[in-house]
Amino acid sequence: MAKRIDVSDLNIYYGNFLAVEGVNVSIEPRSITALIGPSGCGKSTFLRSINRMHEVLPGARVEGKIVMDGQDLYGADVDPVNVRRQIGMVFQRPNPFPTMSIYDNVAAGMRLNAKKMKKTDTDELVERSLRGANLWNEVKDRLDRPGSSLSGGQQQRLCIARAIAVEPDVLLMDEPCSALDPISTLAIEDLMTELKERFTIVIVTHNMQQAARVSEQTGFFNLNGVGQPGRLIEFNPTEKIFSNPDEKATEDYISGRFG
Amino acid sequence: MSQTVSPPRTDHPDLPGPVRTRRRLPRYAATGLYLAGLLLGAVLSALSGFNPALTVIYGVAIGTVAVYAASRAVEGTRKATDRLVTCIVVTAFGIAVVPLVWLSYTVLDRGLTRLDGTFFSNSMVGVVGEGGGAYHAIMGTLIITALAAVISVPIGLLTAIYLVEYGSGRLKRAITFFVDVMTGIPSIVAGLFAFALFTLLFGNDVRLGVMGAVALSVLMIPVVVRSSEEVLKLVPNELREASYALGVPKWRTVVKVVLPTAIAGLGTGVTLSIARVVGETAPLLVTVGLITSTNLNPFDGRMATLPVFAYYQLTQPGTATQAFLDRAWTAALVLIILVMALNVVARLISRFFAPQTGR
Ligand SMILES: Nc1ncnc2c1ncn2[C@@H]1O[C@H](COP(=O)(O)OP(=O)(O)O)[C@@H](O)[C@H]1O
Ligand SMILES: [Mg+2]
């Protein structure tokens, strides 16, 4: 079940360093929201604060509010572990568990949380998730091989299968294609378009064509200089951002004028 | 400026090619020069009455100089320096290996005399001369070392997990510091510590196998902590994050993702730490003592262990001196075999438990 996310006045810190300042945005359910912007402007930091992965780092903290369907994710009584069960994440570099087979990687969310499941149910879950990630046909004969025996693009789809197997409401993807070849990239873009029927997807990308191809909404992050906090400069429908953005900085970035 | 690859020249085959070639020494020149050097060395040492060690020393020195000079004349300075350094490195390696080979040879040569069935099946009860064996000492060493491992591995492993996964700030620094200090504790001090501890608890003249195990643990724990810490640090952070992102709590991530990923290195480290303490003599001498009969209960009285057994056979031979010396050498040989077996086990562990990446 896809959910809506409202972010208000979000400041994100690494220790005393303010990395991202004053983000206000609403992310629509059942759609793809792309985040673009130059390196170091805080896209990853913002993305990781949505599922409370940011605070895993020592000294990292967040001020402000993130509300998902009425529930404040940073509320005092909210367990970050539960937030992460509802908001899945796919990382830049594919990171399947090296000690586990393809099958176990997909079932990892259940296994690691020691959820008791019947073998047939697990089989079904694994097949459904791998089909969902468009990987089933490629790996159905070798589910017991290690996950690291796959190609980079297959590994990334395995990670997507692993993320959707726990049935989250939201899927965050941090440059999921930047380590992949163009064909694998297309495969994953197609996959995202299918997945948005069921999930709210937020994707960070350096590839502007990719943002234009897959997303409905686009946010542009920028920073004024080194050591300054990153800000969400503009958030608009993708078509508008790429044809007629409100902000000069956005236009400069999209047309390749920097500095 | 870009370099272009020129097509192979067919028109002027005798023009110099793009790669400059230089004259090289013939393949066996270096070996030949060394053999000549050894021959010369033999002659030189024969001047003062022939001596094999002197022959080798003269020979290597002459050979090195000869190879360097020949290479410098024929191949140029860069190649000559290369050859000189190669000679020095190989010589250094040779020097390092000499004691090892010598020791192995001596222990094998003298230890094999008594490496028989009796040695493994008999204790020393009632033996004053020939015969007798070290069954009681072998079992004692195995039991006490196993007990030491049972104490050290959980403590060491949990400490390492704390340091890598949870610790921060002052406590972490303090633990790291004390582990460093423990690494440097002389083994006799560990023995005296266990001795004092048990004397305080149980009164004078207490001798127990478990005292030895405690003493060995003091030596073993820092080794386990250090090796486990290094291995746990090698587990990529991405795996932990992947697990967190699936909504897995931290302790489950440690137990089900981090430890299985590191299991090969952890097993290797533990095995090597056992090998490190299995031959300790001093701490066992003061805590466990020695008996001639078999005692398999580490909570009841003195026990025999291989290193202490060897020590007493050597230092307190009876009238049949040779029989005692033979038993000491064989005990040393068995100990070396034990350590080597542990090293092999460590290799096998790291081979079989390493995460498979095979395509
Ligand atoms: N682990 C960290 N500790 C401290 N500062 C960090 C850390 N990760 C990122 N930063 C800082 O936060 C800012 C935003 O980084 P990031 O979110 O990775 O940018 P992006 O993903 O847009 O390239 C940068 O200035 C970066 O130096
Ligand atoms: Mg980033």
Tell me, using a 6 A CB cutoff, whether residue A44 lines ligand 1: yes
Closest by CA to B136, choosing from B150, B113, B116, B119, is B119
Q: How far apart are CA A198 and CA B68, in angstroms?
A: 75
Query: Which pLDDT value is given to residue B47?
Result: 85
Which residue bears the tokens 């692993």?
Answer: A162
Among A225-229, B50-54, B192-196, the range of highest mean pLDDT: B192-196
Query: Which pLDDT value is given to residue B2?
Result: 46
**CATH superfamily of the A5-97+170-254 domain:** P-loop containing nucleotide triphosphate hydrolases (3.40.50.300)
From A125-139, B15-29, B126-140, B244-258, the region with the lowest mean pLDDT? B15-29
Query: Which residues of chain B make contact with A108, given a CB cutoff of 8 A?
Result: 243, 246
Query: Which residues have a Cβ under 8 Å from the Cβ of A96 and sit 6 or more positions away?
Result: A102, A105, A147, A148, A150, A155, A158, A159, A162, B242
Query: Which pLDDT value is given to residue B320?
Result: 86
Per CATH, domain B123-357 is 1.10.3720.10: yes
Tell me, using a 6 A CB cutoff, whether residue A137 lines ligand 1: no
Q: Name the residue among B238, B247, B358 with its Cβ closest to that of A109.
A: B247
Report the SS3 class of residue A18.
Answer: strand
Shortest distance, CA B338 to any CA of chain A (angstroms):
31
Q: How far apart are CA B139 and CA B158, in angstroms?
A: 29
Q: Name the residue among B239, B246, B356 with its Cβ closest to that of A146.
A: B356
The residue whose CA is least distant from atom 16 of ligand 1 is: A42
Q: Is the pLDDT of residue B102 over 60?
A: yes
Query: What pairs with residue A190 in β-bridges?
Result: none
What tokens were used for A208?
A: 């502007």
- Residue A228 backbone dihedrals phi, psi, to 5 degrees: -85, 155
Q: How far apart are CA A234 and CA B175, in angstroms?
A: 49
Q: What is the mean pLDDT of residues B153-163?
A: 97
Q: Is the pLDDT of residue B10 over 70?
A: no
Select the more confidently predicted residue: A200 or B14: A200
% of chain B residues with pLDDT over 70: 92
* C-alpha radius of gyration, chain A, whole number: 18
Residue B295 contacts residue B304 (beta carbons within 8 Å): yes
Residue of A nearest to B167 (CA): A58
pLDDT in tens, B225-262: 999 999 999 999 999 999 999 999 999 999 999 999 99
The tally of CA atoms less than 13 A away on the side-chain side of residue A26 is 6
Q: Is the pLDDT of residue B12 over 60?
A: no
Q: Work out the angle at residue A38's Cα, subtended by the Cα atoms of residues A32 and A42, and round it to the nearest 5 degrees.
A: 70
Q: Work out the angle at residue A84's Cα, subtended by the Cα atoms of residues A79 and A88, and round it to the nearest 5 degrees.
A: 170
Q: Is the pLDDT of residue B7 over 60?
A: no
Q: Is the pLDDT of residue B61 over 70?
A: yes
The model's confidence at residue B54, banded by pLDDT at 50, 70 and 90, is confident
Task: Classify residue A37 as exposed, middle or buried by CB count within 10 Å of its CB (0-12, 13-18, 19+).
Answer: buried
Query: Which pLDDT value is given to residue B358?
Result: 46
Residue A73 contacts residue B220 (beta carbons within 8 Å): no
Q: How far apart are CA A151 and CA A174, in angstroms?
A: 19
pLDDT in tens, A2-25: 789 999 999 999 999 999 999 999
The tally of CA atoms less than 13 A away on the side-chain side of residue A158 is 31
Residue A24 contacts residue A90 (beta carbons within 8 Å): no
Query: What pairs with residue B250 in β-bridges?
Result: none
Residue of B nearest to A85 (CA): B247
Parse chain B into domains and list their residue ranges. Answer: 19-113, 123-357
The pairing of strands A87-90 and A17-27 is unpaired
Closest by CA to A161, choosing from A219, A79, A73, A100, is A100
Which residue bears the tokens 């509802």?
Answer: A86
Query: What pairs with residue A25 in β-bridges?
Result: A7
Q: How far apart are CA B191 and CA B217, in angstroms?
A: 10
Query: Which pLDDT value is given to residue B169?
Result: 87
Closest by CA to A27, choosing from A75, A67, A64, A72, is A67
% of chain B residues with pLDDT over 90: 67
Query: Which pLDDT value is given to residue B136?
Result: 94
The model's confidence at residue A117, banded by pLDDT at 50, 70 and 90, is confident
